Amino acid sequence: AQTVTQSQPEMSVQEAETVTLSCTYDTSESDYYLFWYKQPPSRQMILVIRQEAYKQQNATENRFSVNFQKAAKSFSLKISDSQLGDAAMYFCAYRRDQGGKLIFGQGTELSVKP
Amino acid sequence: GAVVSQHPSWVICKSGTSVKIECRSLDFQATTMFWYRQFPKQSLMLMATSNEGSKATYEQGVEKDKFLINHASLTLSTLTVTSAHPEDSSFYICSAKRTLQVLKNIQYFGAGTRLSVL
């Protein structure tokens, strides 16, 4: 069975600094999708970034980028120039294929200090 | 675009009553919708996968007679918590997957429903 592990329950970053959130996963599949979702206090899940496993290039969305290491089954999220609005719970998620269900990690609560 | 509306956002009910939660995709068709449960400070746990026009697929340990799911159209899925008890109090979130091929990989989430059973 596939599993997703986020080993950092809480992280803190100074405003304007960079922070990296860790995520590892376990799967025997070769084709899959990885996601980072943000859940602010409103609890609305927001897609931050996604990565297709067959793509070697790391995905980037403005201040958000990932370090995808397929062999190591690692998928970390880097947030550059952190802003107060980045404070939220961040979930790493895995999906086996286009129709598969999302499997979430335990979440990392990110706080941003002014 | 890609808005998923979930209603109600908060419901309080008495123990033993049933509660229906709606999940609508407002600007796209969703063949598949998903229902999650989330406890405070915890991750999302998938309860069931709802497919339009067919029976829902429940995850192991989720009582299908307790959590009734209906997906009668391409834009609406409902979750009914039957004979609710205090232990059913939780945050319920739905998500919808677009039918269109181009953006099929993305799930869009509703804002969630907080259920409090007294």
Q: Which among B109, B113, B114 is the top mutation candidate for probing chain A, defined by the most A β-carbons within 10 Å of its own β-carbon?
A: B109
Token pair, residue B1, equals 């675009």
Q: Is B112 on the interface with A (CB under 8 A)?
A: yes
Residue B30 contacts A, CB cutoff 8 Å = no
- pLDDT tens sequence across A34-60: 999 999 999 999 999 999 999 889 999
Contact A75, A92 (CB under 8 A): yes
First to last CA, chain B: 37
Question: Three-class SS of residue A56?
Answer: coil
Closest to A93 measured CA to CA, from A42, A30, A24: A24
Contact between A33 and B104 using a beta-carbon 8 Å cutoff: no
Q: What is each CA distance from A51 to A44, A61, A93, B77, in whole angstroms?
A: 21, 11, 10, 28
Q: Do A42 and B111 touch (CB under 8 A)?
A: yes
**Chain B partners of A98 at a C-beta cutoff of 8 Å?**
104-105
Measured between beta carbons, which residues in chain A are less than 8 angstroms from residue B48?
Answer: none
> Comparing C-alpha atoms, which of A73, A72, A62, A66 is closest to residue A90?
A66
pLDDT at B28: 86
Q: Can you read off the two tokens belonging to residue A43? A: 């609890």
Question: Are A102 and B34 inside 8 Å of each other by CB?
Answer: yes
Q: Tell me the pLDDT band of A32, cut-offs 50, 70 and 90.
A: very high
Q: Give the number of other CB atoms < 10 A from CB of residue A59.
A: 19
- Burial letters B43-58, b for 16+ CB under 10 A, else e: bbbbbbbbbbeeebbb
What is the residue type of B30?
A
Query: Once rounded to an integer, what is the mean pLDDT over residues A77-92?
Result: 97
Q: Are strands B32-38 and B90-97 parallel, antiparallel or unpaired?
A: antiparallel
Any idea what DSSP says for residue A87? -
For an interface test with B, give the residue of A6, A39, A43 to mutate (most B CBs within 10 A). Answer: A43
Q: Among A10-24, A43-57, B102-116, name the one with the lowest average pLDDT.
A: B102-116
- pLDDT attached to residue B27: 87
Give just the sign of the alpha carbon dihedral A40, A45, A47, A50: positive
The answer, yes or no, to whether residue A84 has pLDDT greater than 90, is yes
Q: How many CA atoms lie within 13 A of B110 on its CB side?
A: 32
Q: Is A102 on the interface with B (CB under 8 A)?
A: yes
The sign one gets for the Cα dihedral A9, A3, B40, A86 is positive
> What's the rounded mean pLDDT across residues A84-111?
92
Tens of pLDDT, residue by residue over B18-64, are 999 999 999 888 888 999 999 988 999 999 998 888 889 999 999 99
pLDDT at A112 over 90: yes
Please determine, for residue B100, whether its predicted confidence score (pLDDT) is greater than 70. no
What's the pLDDT tens digit per position in B68-96?
A: 999 888 899 999 999 999 999 999 999 99
